[in-house]
Amino acid sequence: MNPIIRKLILFVATLWAAVTVNFFIPRLMPGTPGDAALAKLAGNGPINPAQRQAIDATLGVPHGSLVSQYWTYLDNSAHGRFGISYTYFPQTVSSLILHALPWTLVLVGTVTVIAFVVGTLLGVLAAWRRGRAVDTVATVGGTFTSGFPYFWTALLLLFVFAFKLNWFPIKGGYAADVSPNLSLAFVRDAAFHSVLPALTILISGLGGWLLGMRNNMINTLGEDYVTFAEANGLRGRTVALRYAARNALLPNLTAFGMALGLVVGGSLLTEVVFAYPGVGYLLYNAVVNEDFPLMQALFLVITVSVLVANFAVDLLYGLLDPRAR
Amino acid sequence: MKLLEVEDLSVVYEASRSDPVRAVREVSLTLDDGEFVGLVGESGCGKSTLGYAITRMLRPPARLESGRVIFSGTDIASLSGERLRRMRSHGFALVLQSGMNALNPVRSIENHFGDVLRAHQRTSRADVRRRAIELLEAVKLPPETLRRFPHELSGGMRQRVAIGLVLALDPRLVIFDEPTTALDVLVQKAVIDTIKDLQRKVGFTAVLISHDLGLVLDSADRVLVMYAGRIVEDQPPARMVTNPAHPYTRALLGCYADPRAERVELAGIPGSPPDLSQPSAGCSYAPRCTLVEPGCSSAEPPLVEIGPRTSVACYVTARQSAHPVAGHENEGQQ
């Protein structure tokens, strides 16, 4: 069978399993949301069937068998009907997610890609100039910054550049006096607001890619095909990029796929510190306010995007490594 | 005609926590154009290190301590960077021990040829293809191999591709560092036959490094025996079999069984090679030698010529055969 079709089938099967588990796990718990509400009310005296029906109707407790509920759930999920948020009543969950998603995708997505590309290139350079000044600075610097926790970096940047120096806005994705549209003024304002969150993610993420790539690259530099390429008088740049780095990149690609998938989950702590209107901040609010419809939908979206990213990397892997075809 | 002259070459492996190991010690040798030379010795005797030193492929912790390597008039031991890289075309080449891993797993065979050819001159796609097919034919591989990736080829085929790549450089000296170690005996024979064949046709000088004395005696025109970082004997193979000069060579030959003999008697060599991180006085083979005399521990014996195309680094053998060629003794080697 064509390997792409095989991977596609596997992807669809995994996706179905994830969605199904997302449906069944909450329902395996004993009781219904209605029971929980009734238990609280029971303290005030006996409950008649009419009260019970009213509560069930308010909470949307489903009717019918588990199987029919499951079909309804699949249908709703496929059409993006996730219900109404408790916290942001009466907004629908899908409109909330759709509004938060672009902020996270642009900020975290761009910075993740930049961190990967820059970190990998620096790792290649450090390994190729092993033991020289570039290597020492990059390796020590990378180890140092990758040790910073996200939220700590975020707080530090916020304190110094926003609070003390007042160079950057202290919170939010855009100023209160501009409305979100695609005008130049808004884009400039949004970019200005994203500098500190972006810097936070970059500082904490760059070191990991750099060190990972440097270590892989040092291993591949010891491979016979690198020695042989040098013995055949290939140019230094060809040996470094096409022979050593090209092979050293492969294991890092899997990690990059995971990182890309997690982009959609947002950078929770960073977004919370900067009150950035992304998915991470939304998830934080959902958890704090026990907003179950929002939480469940967000978890589903995160799961699906991790799967999609992994599928994409899997396909890319096939292109980059002939042994994986 | 002289192609390569090695003078007083020493290589040391420097480790931070232990004494430096002197893997090659004051080796001098001369290779002529078109020779097929075998270099044998047991593991750790410095034979591969010598091959890497000659092709300037030593990497830390190995370091060229002293000596000169004169390749057709240029001291390549003092070259570096771009000038050294240029010498690798029409110059000296190295085929690695594990040809299995000598190819980049993510590049097709055609790209391998492209990389090597383009590294030394501008070559069009069509020319790369034409030349690559010629070279594959020379190492007895079909043209379809071009489209393959290394993992789709067998070990023997990969080693043939590696030899083909080296030939793309149009080299005058090729060092084969145990090219058949990872291959089974039949494939080994076929690869060695291909190497011999090419060497005769193309006319490059070949150095075959191996721990397999039988293989070397079978294929080379001249055999160098190495022990503890030094060359101890230099003789054509036919005479070496009947008349080994150095007691170590004699002992090595005793380690091989004659498959036709009714009773096989195998002799090992008692003891083990010396620790090259410790300085030694006198002949380093003396502790294992059957001919040892009190004089052997004074200084390392030099490699002296004791007959036509025959040199040995042994006081006892040199003295015993001193009479016929007494006049040559001070010349060092041939």
Across the interface, do A235 and B119 touch by the CB < 8 Å criterion?
yes
User: Beta strand pairing status for B230-235 and B74-75?
Assistant: unpaired
Cα of B114 to nearest chain A Cα, Å: 10
Across the interface, do A227 and B96 touch by the CB < 8 Å criterion?
yes
CB of A218 within 8 Å of a chain B CB? The answer is no
Identity of the highest mean pLDDT range in A58-72, A205-219, B235-249: A205-219
User: Beta strand pairing status for B36-40 and B222-227?
Assistant: parallel
Across the interface, do A225 and B149 touch by the CB < 8 Å criterion?
no
pLDDT tens, A130-159?
888 888 999 999 888 888 888 888 888 888
pLDDT tens, B193-251?
888 888 888 888 999 998 888 888 888 889 999 988 888 889 998 888 888 888 888 88
- The helices-and-strands tally (H runs, E runs) of chain A is 15, 0
Q: How far is CA B105 from the centre of its chain?
A: 27
Least CB–CB distance from B106: residue in A228, A234, A246: A246
Residues of A in contact with B86 (CB under 8 A): 233
Rounded Cα distance, A19 and A208, in Å: 32
DSSP element (H, E) containing A220: helix A184-221
Cα of B122 to nearest chain A Cα, Å: 13
Rounded Cα distance, B19 and A35, in Å: 78
Percentage of chain B modeled with pLDDT above 90: 6
Across the interface, do B104 and A229 touch by the CB < 8 Å criterion?
yes
CB of A324 within 8 Å of a chain B CB? The answer is no
CA torsion angle for B100, B103, B107, B113 (degrees, to 10)?
A: -130
pLDDT for the residue A125: 93
Rounded Cα distance, A30 and A36, in Å: 10
Asked whether the CA dihedral B235, B239, B240, B243 is positive or negative, the reply is negative
Work out the mean pLDDT of chain B and round it to a whole number: 84
CB of A319 within 8 Å of a chain B CB? The answer is no
Q: A93-324 — its CATH code? A: 1.10.3720.10
CB of B101 within 8 Å of a chain A CB? The answer is yes
Cα of B51 to nearest chain A Cα, Å: 12
Least CB–CB distance from B103: residue in A225, A235, A246: A225
Best interface-test mutation with B: which of A130, A218, A228 has the largest number of B CBs within 10 A? A228
pLDDT for the residue B329: 43
* Residue that wins the pLDDT comparison between B254 and B216: B216
Rounded Cα distance, B123 and B144, in Å: 21
Work out the mean pLDDT of chain A and round it to a whole number: 85
Interface size between A and B, measured as CB pairs under 8 A: 78
pLDDT for the residue A13: 93
Tokens of B168: 């793309």
Least CB–CB distance from B149: residue in A235, A320, A322: A322
Tokens of A262: 């997690």
Least CB–CB distance from A247: residue in B89, B97, B106: B106
Above 90 in pLDDT, residue B314? no
Above 80 in pLDDT, residue A183? no
Across the interface, do A320 and B102 touch by the CB < 8 Å criterion?
no
Listed by start position, the domains of chain A span 93-324
Domains of chain B: 2-331 (3.40.50.300)
Tokens of A73: 């759930």
Peptide bond into B324 cis (omega under 30): no
Residues of B in contact with A244 (CB under 8 A): none
CB of B89 within 8 Å of a chain A CB? The answer is yes
User: Beta strand pairing status for B310-312 and B304-307?
Assistant: antiparallel
Asked whether the CA dihedral B23, B29, B32, B36 is positive or negative, the reply is negative
Quick one: average pLDDT of B311-321? 83
Quick one: average pLDDT of B129-143? 88
CB of B54 within 8 Å of a chain A CB? The answer is no
CB of A229 within 8 Å of a chain B CB? The answer is yes
Across the interface, do A224 and B94 touch by the CB < 8 Å criterion?
no
Tokens of B83: 């000038």
Across the interface, do B57 and A227 touch by the CB < 8 Å criterion?
yes
pLDDT for the residue B328: 44
Length of chain A, please?
325
Above 90 in pLDDT, residue A114? yes
Given a contact cutoff of 8 angstroms between Cβ atoms, the answer to whether A267 and A201 are in contact is yes
Above 90 in pLDDT, residue B154? no
pTM: 0.79
